[in-house]
């Protein structure tokens, strides 16, 4: 790996208040050892992605729910509508990696879209272990910094 590549990060930052981070960990852990998935709702600026809500969604992949997810498009639609009514948007996708690191897999890469934050929570028998965010740039993922706001806006 070249040094240039090693320091490369996304041009955006994902702002995720502590209260939402905890909520997300609870959602992710509740499904352990199966994968959990859902959506991030908020406002997307040029460099700052503001998360206002985290929404759980159904995983339609019933063949390999321990290491695959297919987010129910009906949940996507309902979340999009509710977000829009509040002047918000779907800004990202979250999913858990039971007993795997919070890094995108090859499967994640195959179905990724540019323009969303992909938040991954690593879950273990002892609890949520790590949380990292990624964005697709061209044909690969780059890491996006996750910032935590301490106070409610």
What residue ranges bind other proteins (CB under 8 A)?
A: 35, 37, 44, 61, 64, 66-71, 73-74, 76-77, 80, 89-91, 93, 95-100, 104-105, 107-108, 110-116, 118
Catalytic residue among 35, 144, 147, 149: 35
Residue 54 CB, shortest distance to other proteins, in Å, is 15
* Smallest separation, CB 22 to Zn ion (Å): 21
Q: Applying CB under 5 A, does 108 fall inside the site for Zn ion?
A: yes
Q: Of 97, 136, 130, 101, which is closest to residue 118 (Cα–Cα)? A: 136
Q: Give the list of residues 6+ apart from residue 17 with CB closer than 8 angstroms, or none.
A: 51, 148, 149, 150, 152
- The CB density around residue 80, as the number of other CB atoms within 10 Å, is 15
Q: Which does 98 bind (CB under 5 to 8 A by kind): Zn ion, other proteins, none?
A: other proteins
In the annotation, is 35 catalytic? Answer: yes
Q: Which two tokens stand for residue 36?
A: 């959990």
Opening angle at CA 144, ends 142 and 148, nearest 5: 165
**Residues classed as catalytic:** 35
């Amino acid at each position: 790996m070249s040094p240039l590549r090693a320091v490369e990060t996304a041009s955006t930052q994902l702002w995720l208040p502590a209260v939402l981070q905890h909520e997300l960990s609870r959602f992710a852990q509740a499904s352990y050892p199966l994968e959990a998935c859902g959506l991030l709702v908020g406002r997307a600026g040029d460099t700052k992605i503001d998360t206002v809500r985290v929404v759980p969604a159904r995983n339609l992949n019933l063949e390999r729910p321990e290491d695959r997810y297919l987010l129910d498009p009906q949940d996507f639609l309902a979340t999009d509508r509710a977000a829009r009514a509040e002047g918000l948007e779907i800004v990202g996708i979250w999913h858990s990696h039971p007993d795997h690191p919070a890094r995108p897999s090859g499967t994640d890469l195959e179905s990724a879209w540019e323009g969303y934050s992909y938040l991954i929570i690593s879950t273990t028998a002892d609890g949520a272990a790590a949380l990292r965010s990624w964005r697709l740039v061209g044909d690969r993922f780059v890491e996006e910094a996750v910032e935590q706001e301490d106070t409610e806006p």
